[in-house]
């Protein structure tokens, strides 16, 4: 996260949620004096891996595969089968012992656990190179994220076409967010204006933000914020590269 991966996630995990008790559940299994069952919370590292399982399952589905073992799915996702089974246990028991998992059935349950059963409406703030690239990126639509608006402050850019959309004036941001029903925002902005726009977006009612701005954003605890910083990724790579490559070493041509 950070990893975080290295995750650099700084969102909220409501402790209050942990304490919600499902009174009906607790009667049978729990012995006297034992804590009662609480609303499950999936560990952050497991949530990140769920997206890998989902991607692998959807590939299998596209290939027409109907069943898969934890061993095979783990391999396709790049994790150990032990980790996979442990992760799946956080969302429920959707496999059959001695048999494996039904691909479509498991895929649906993971999607449900991640909150991907309905489409999310995403607005992009910033129509520079990155904002445009994101707006045109096909990977979002196919995974349940609809880009519903893109904003910029530059009069030369406002009104121009980006993919299926027209760039809106950031001055109208609040009304456009409201009209389009956006419930997530991607910040593709320079560091200098990121905090200001972040504040406005939150004031407009948005509670989930993905930021590409290379700056530490301050958000209230009830806002979910994730950050992606491409220069940071290269710096982390540099650290590992340094340990395996002699710093000045030029590219070696392999024979082959």
Partner DNA sequence: TAGATTGTTAATCGATTAACAATC
C-alpha–C-alpha distance, residues 117 and 231, integer Å = 33
Q: Which of 60, 65, 117, 56 is nearest to 88 (CA)?
A: 56
Site for a second copy in 133-152 (CB under 8 A): 133-134, 136-137, 139-140, 143-145
Report the nearest approach of DNA to the CB of residue 7 (Å): 9
Q: Are 74 and 101 in contact (CB under 8 A)?
A: no
Q: Among candidates 121, 94, 97, which has minimal Cα distance to 110?
A: 94
Q: Which is nearer to DNA, 12 or 183 (CB)?
A: 12
Neighbours of 10 (CB within 10 A): 17
CB 151, min distance to a second copy, A: 14
- Footprint on residues 83-102 left by a second copy (CB under 8 A): none
Around Cβ 207, how many Cβ atoms within 10 Å? 16
Determine, following the binding rule CB under 8 A, whether residue 158 of this chain makes contact with a second copy.
no
**Largest Cα span, the chain:** 70
Q: What does 11 interact with, of DNA, a second copy, none (CB < 5 to 8 A by kind)? A: a second copy
Which region among 26-34, 62-70, 82-90, 107-115 touches a second copy (by CB under 8 A)?
107-115
How many residues bind a second copy (CB under 8 A)? The answer is 101
Of a second copy, DNA, none, which one sits near residue 85, judging by CB under 5 to 8 A according to partner kind?
DNA
CA distances (Å), origin 66, targets 18, 57, 60, 89, 125: 35, 10, 8, 21, 41
DSSP letter assigned to residue 20: -
Least Cβ distance, residue 128 to a second copy (angstroms): 8
95 near 57, Cβ under 8 Å? no
Counting contacts by CB under 8 A, is residue 63 touching a second copy? no
* Footprint on this chain of DNA (rule: CB under 7 A): 4, 43-46, 69-71, 79-83, 85-86, 88-89, 93-101
Figure out which of the listed residues 60, 84, 103, 113 binds a second copy, where binding follows CB under 8 A.
113
């Amino acid at each position: 996260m950070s990893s975080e991966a290295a995750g650099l996630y700084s969102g909220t995990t409501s402790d209050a949620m942990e304490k919600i008790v499902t009174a009906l559940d607790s009667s049978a299994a729990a012995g006297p004096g034992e804590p009662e069952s609480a609303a499950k919370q999936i560990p952050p590292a497991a949530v990140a891996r769920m997206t890998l399982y989902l991607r692998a399952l959807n590939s299998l589905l596209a290939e027409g595969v109907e069943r898969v073992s934890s061993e095979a799915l783990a391999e396709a996702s790049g994790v150990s089968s032990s980790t996979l089974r442990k992760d799946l246990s956080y969302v429920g028991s959707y496999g059959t012992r001695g048999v494996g998992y039904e691909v479509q059935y498991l895929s649906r349950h993971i999607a449900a656990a991640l909150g991907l059963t309905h489409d999310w409406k995403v607005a992009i703030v910033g129509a520079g190179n990155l904002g445009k690239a994101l707006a045109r990126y096909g990977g979002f639509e196919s995974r349940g994220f609809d880009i519903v608006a893109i904003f910029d402050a530059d009069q030369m850019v406002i009104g121009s076409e980006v993919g299926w959309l027209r760039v809106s004036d950031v001055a109208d941001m609040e009304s456009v967010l409201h009209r389009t029903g956006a419930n997530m925002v991607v910040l593709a902005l320079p560091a200098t204006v990121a905090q200001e726009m972040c504040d406005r977006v939150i004031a407009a009612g948005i509670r989930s933000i993905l930021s590409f701005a290379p700056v530490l954003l301050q958000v209230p605890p009830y806002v979910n914020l994730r950050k992606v910083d491409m220069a940071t990724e290269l710096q982390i790579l540099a650290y590992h590269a340094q340990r395996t490559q002699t710093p000045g070493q030029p590219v070696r041509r392999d024979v082959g």
